[in-house]
Amino acid sequence: MIDLATDQVRTGEEDALHRAALATGDPSREGACDAAPRAGLADAEEEARGQQAHVVAHAGHGRGRQAPAVAQRGAERVVADAETGVLQRHQLGIGAGSAQHRRGVPERRAAVEAASQRAHDARAALRAADLPCERITGGGTGTFLYEAASAVFNEVQPGSYVLMDSDYARNAVDPEAPRFEHALALLTTVMSLRSADGNERATLDAGLKSFSTDSGPALPTFAGWRPYAISDEHTVLHRIGEGPAVKLGDKALLVPGHCDPTVALHDWIVAVRNGVVEDVWPIDARGALF
């Protein structure tokens, strides 16, 4: 899969597409784009190589990926591509990033209903140009059940459920949906303590270099403490209520606010079951560049 909707393609389309072409020898590889000009660049790149480009057209309700690119302007481009026989749009990718974290169940359901209608309209635009739409893909951990029940989507893309994070934990629970537990935590150590004027604080040896804060700070797994300050290499916890006593050298587990970018900061995941280390998994994409 080559994502032609990335910033690298927007700022240097031709070069990025050329590098994408060299990255794989698969003649039927797929790409994703959300605007006709980038689809045209993919067309030219693939035609020069004598191959067909199978493009995933984004028509979603995520950030910056809008349905009109396919449902309104897309049909004209599709017809031109069909005449060349080079570019085939055979899949719709429905962006759903913002819908995953709408806290209420009715809000998430409504977002997917609207996205399903846009997906239906976009597919109709493709079929009107005599091009098949084999797959409509989208969804995520927060909404995949609704996409699966929509009768429009035939592929869903949940991923965070494998690990979960504290941001997803803030979503209202749908009693009809499966419950996913936290499987990812950062193991930290209490390196200093401070108690003055009735304020208890504990400094841990992990900060911004260890976890992402785009969806909030990493939270302790034990009650009575919350982050007070975060720096590059430290997190200061502040006692806010009843909870365990914290001693120098204690181990503290923190659940990250966003699992994906947190994992990308580390070389290994230590797999633990019932307090026993069963395996160590290398993180292949650590430090990888396109």
List, in order of start, the domains of the chain with CATH numbers.
2-158 (3.20.20.10), 186-282 (2.40.37.20)
Question: What is the C-alpha to C-alpha distance for residues 6 and 18, in angstroms, rounded to an integer?
Answer: 14
Q: Which of 94-98, 156-160, 249-253 has the lowest mean pLDDT?
A: 94-98
Residues with Cβ within 8 Å of 23's Cβ and at least 6 positions away in sequence, in order, are 2
pLDDT band at 168 (very low <50, low <70, confident <90, very high): very high
Q: Are 202 and 192 in contact (CB under 8 A)?
A: yes
pLDDT of residue 55: 52
Higher pLDDT, 11 or 197: 197
pLDDT above 60 (res 104): yes
Percentage of residues in the chain having pLDDT higher than 90: 54
Residues in the chain, total: 290
Report the chain's terminal Cα–Cα distance, integer Å. 12
> Could you report the per-residue pLDDT of 109-147, keeping only the tens digit for each?
999 999 999 889 888 888 888 888 888 999 999 999 999
Question: What is the C-alpha to C-alpha distance for residues 38 and 14, in angstroms, rounded to an integer?
Answer: 9
241: which DSSP letter? S
Q: Are 168 and 101 in contact (CB under 8 A)?
A: yes
Q: Are 256 and 221 in contact (CB under 8 A)?
A: no
Nearest CA among 136, 107, 108 for reference residue 122:
136
pLDDT of residue 19: 53
pLDDT of residue 222: 97
pLDDT of residue 248: 97
